Chains A and B, each alone.
Chain A
């Protein structure tokens, strides 16, 4: 069964360092999402791609976060510099169509900023 792949699964970094997360969606899924999930909360959307284009990045802290999906397949989310408050689970999801469809999630990357 096809799955969304994410790496690394865990990342520990010191504040002010740069970190990067990678996501490979299910083959054929045009829509890719990055979410941040703080412990005890639900996921919150950071950025949504349709193919290689960003369609929603309204909640992405653009002074330190960036995301790209250059060839419309896999994607990278970067934080530079990392802050203590960035400690969270970063989840990637994909869907066949945008909008009102079920999303398939990867296992997530647990980030700890010291």
Chain B
């Protein structure tokens, strides 16, 4: 089963524009992570935000977390053609040292040159 649900399913923007992707989840979490996957490749970890954090930045990435709404957003500023990929949110449950990450279905981002 997949807890995280990303929105929209697909996003197409012009190079230089900002891209905003959303993720909603259902149960309490320890942290939420965002990953990127280029076509036919493995996933690359982008950023991890813990349940007691509200916002985090990494380069051109900004992630917010609203635990009251059980939602997160990933903002990519000044997008580049190289940002074209699928983006997944993954939630880590609130309990259990061996608890597993649950991934959403992903968002396909296309950045037009």
B42 & A42 in contact (Cβ 8 Å cutoff): no
Q: Once the chains bind, are B30 and A100 in contact (CB under 8 Å)?
A: yes
Is the C-beta of B92 less than 8 angstroms from some C-beta in chain A? yes
Total residues of chain A contacting the partner, CB 8 A: 28
Asked whether any CB of chain B lies closer than 8 Å to the CB of A7, the reply is no
Is A25 engaged at the interface, CB distance under 8 Å to the other chain? no
Contact A42 B2 (CB under 8 A): yes
- Which parts of A14-54 form the interface with B (CB within 8 Å)? 33, 40-45, 48, 50
Which of B31, B40, B90 is A110 in contact with, Cβ under 8 Å?
B40
Within 8 A of A (CB), among B38-90: 40-45, 48, 88, 90
CB within 8 Å of B: which residues of A?
4, 6, 33, 40-45, 48, 50, 55-56, 89, 91, 93, 98-108, 110
